[in-house]
């Protein structure tokens, strides 16, 4: 009798899950509607609810896709996937977790948005940004055809652990797919993933002419060869550990890129193997966004999109939340996410290269989504910000406002120019007050950790509306 009992139990479980699939979809879709009517973001909660009812719902819906393109890596996931979304969208309507909700509940929410009340998926291609630690949990459930690895840096050590753990998770996630892997070849850690993925790999990278021998105090996570453990030799750097590297012990070296980018001003020229080079307008700012654009173009070419489709997609790009996101406030404000040393360094580089006088507001939280360990603030190169005479005032806010103020003081920034207001709204108001007190044109830059980002963006949007009602006719210097 025992086998019969087990068979009956399995059948009952299958029946139970099947019967719960539609209620899970209905609950998720109803919560989507309710959140939208309430004017709140519906990026993860509907999927979280639905997965509570039917834990395999993501797999069930994912199986109905024809293809899935995935973007993962430490920095640049959201911008790269947003650029790629515009490009793939020129070919067909796609599903995309645009707001960057990159955990299982966020992916499920994105799928629910395009699922009928009877469980039919209306679109057959999905583009998902996926968190590094989540990748091995979900890739076996999705028909991943192209997978982009942007880069690998130390990030939220209390959540991800050290780099070897992150690399192992990325490899585990990739080996569960049959995808073509598109890898940043300028990053030795990313190339290590490509070499050991067992999948077809295409590399992208910048022209060596853009590398520099100037050394700032940037974090360089790939100092040692992942193949033999010896110290890598660098002839020049792009940023962080991205550069012209080689191992003199085992021969590991930067690969020649299948997609090589050269840029000047707002133009990116891409050389794809032996094909004629193609020139694209870049809709973003900063070196790290050149990389993001090159990653998106490379993935699009692997996906079969031609140059004209790529150009149309790039032209339709809109900056996602907190990625060099501009606000027409008075003075004009730019919002950027910071979450780890290398990402923060690239943001600092971008805002210093903008020119003009500046007020900087640093909004630092330490909630779970930010990473509770804020020691990374001491690894980021805030000394460059402190040493720049165009940075006229610095306001710190958020749950760790005092820690950030102390960091700026030890970076060498004049203490009398540091102002602190832990409550976020008060901190933002203080930043605008300090900008107004200066008798010259300035731009305001807000650098925010993740949990402060949405509230900051909302506050700045309201500020745009209020400033539009009472314009001061102050000329932008951006």
Q: Is 439 a catalytic residue?
A: no
What's the rounded Cα separation, in Å, for the pair 293 and 184? 12
| Collapsed DSSP state (helix, strand, coil) of residue 459 | helix
Residue pair 393/332 in contact (Cβ under 8 Å)? The answer is no
Count the Cβ atoms, other than its own, within 10 Å of residue 160.
18
What's the rounded Cα separation, in Å, for the pair 25 and 30? 8
Residue pair 324/285 in contact (Cβ under 8 Å)? The answer is yes
Residue pair 247/228 in contact (Cβ under 8 Å)? The answer is yes
Residues 6+ apart with CB under 8 A from 120: none
Peptide bond into 331 cis (omega under 30): yes
Q: Identify the sign of the CA torsion 281, 286, 289, 290.
A: positive
Choose among 435, 414, 335: nearest CA to 405.
Answer: 414
Angle at 70 between CA 65 and CA 72, to 5 degrees: 155
57-69: buried (b, 16+ CB within 10 Å) or exposed (e) per residue?
Answer: bbebbbeebebbb
Choose among 140, 145, 152: nearest CA to 104.
Answer: 140
Q: What is the DSSP string of 89-133?
A: TTTS--EE-TT---SHHHHHHHHHTTB-TTS-BS-SEEEEE--TT
Q: How far is CA 443 from each of CA 65, 328, 440, rounded to the nearest angstrom?
A: 45, 11, 10
Q: How far is CA 53 from each of CA 47, 49, 261, 380, rounded to the nearest angstrom?
A: 10, 7, 47, 42
Residue pair 268/296 in contact (Cβ under 8 Å)? The answer is no
Task: Find the catalytic residue in 186, 373, 439, 467.
Answer: 373
What's the rounded Cα separation, in Å, for the pair 354 and 362? 18
What's the rounded Cα separation, in Å, for the pair 181 and 477? 41
Q: How far is CA 400 from each of CA 262, 270, 375, rounded to the nearest angstrom?
A: 39, 42, 11
Residues with catalytic roles: 373
């Amino acid at each position: 009798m025992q086998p019969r009992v087990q068979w009956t139990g399995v059948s009952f479980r299958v029946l139970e899950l099947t019967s719960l699939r539609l209620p899970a979809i209905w609950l998720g879709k109803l919560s989507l509607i309710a959140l939208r009517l309430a004017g709140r973001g519906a990026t993860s909660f509907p999927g979280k609810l639905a997965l509570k009812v039917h834990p395999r719902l993501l797999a069930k819906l994912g199986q109905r896709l024809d293809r899935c393109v995935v973007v993962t890596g430490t920095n640049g996931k959201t911008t790269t996937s947003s650029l790629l979304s515009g490009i793939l969208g020129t070919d067909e309507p796609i599903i995309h977790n645009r707001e960057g909700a990159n955990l299982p509940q966020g992916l499920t929410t994105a799928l629910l948005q395009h699922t009928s009340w009877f469980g039919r998926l209306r679109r057959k291609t999905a583009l998902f940004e996926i968190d590094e630690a989540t990748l091995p949990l979900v890739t076996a459930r999705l028909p991943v055809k192209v997978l982009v690895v942007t880069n690998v840096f130390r990030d939220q050590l209390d959540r991800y652990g050290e780099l070897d753990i992150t690399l192992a998770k990325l490899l585990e996630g990739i080996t569960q797919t049959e995808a073509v892997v598109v890898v940043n070849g300028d990053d030795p850690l990313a190339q290590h993933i490509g070499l050991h993925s067992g999948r077809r790999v295409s590399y992208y990278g910048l022209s060596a002419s853009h590398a520099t021998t100037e050394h700032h105090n940037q974090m360089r996570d790939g100092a040692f060869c992942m193949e033999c453990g010896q110290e890598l030799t660098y002839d020049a750097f792009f940023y962080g550990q991205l550069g012209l590297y080689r191992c003199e012990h085992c021969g590991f070296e930067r690969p020649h890129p299948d997609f090589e980018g050269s840029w000047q001003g707002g133009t990116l020229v891409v050389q794809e193997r032996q094909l004629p080079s193609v020139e694209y307008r870049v809709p973003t700012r900063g070196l790290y966004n050149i990389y993001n654009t090159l990653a998106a173009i490379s993935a699009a070419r692997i996906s079969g999109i031609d140059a004209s489709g790529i150009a149309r997609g790039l032209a339709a790009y809109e900056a996602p939340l907190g990625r060099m996101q501009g606000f027409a406030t008075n003075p004009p404000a730019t919002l950027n996410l910071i979450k780890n040393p290398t990402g923060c360094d690239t943001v600092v580089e971008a805002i210093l290269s903008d020119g003009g006088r500046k007020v900087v507001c640093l909004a630092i939280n330490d909630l779970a989504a930010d990473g509770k360990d804020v020691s990374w603030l001491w690894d980021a190169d805030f000394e460059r910000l402190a040493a720049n005479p165009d940075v006229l005032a610095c306001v710190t806010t958020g749950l760790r406002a005092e820690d950030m103020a102390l960091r700026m003081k030890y970076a060498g920034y004049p203490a009398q120019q540091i102002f602190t207001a832990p409550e976020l709204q008060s901190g933002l108001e203080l930043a605008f007050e300090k900008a107004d007190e200066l008798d010259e044109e300035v731009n305001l830059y807000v650098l925010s950790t993740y949990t402060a980002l949405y509230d900051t963006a909302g506050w700045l949007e309201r500020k745009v509306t209020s400033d539009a009602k009472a314009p001061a006719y102050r000329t932008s210097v951006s």
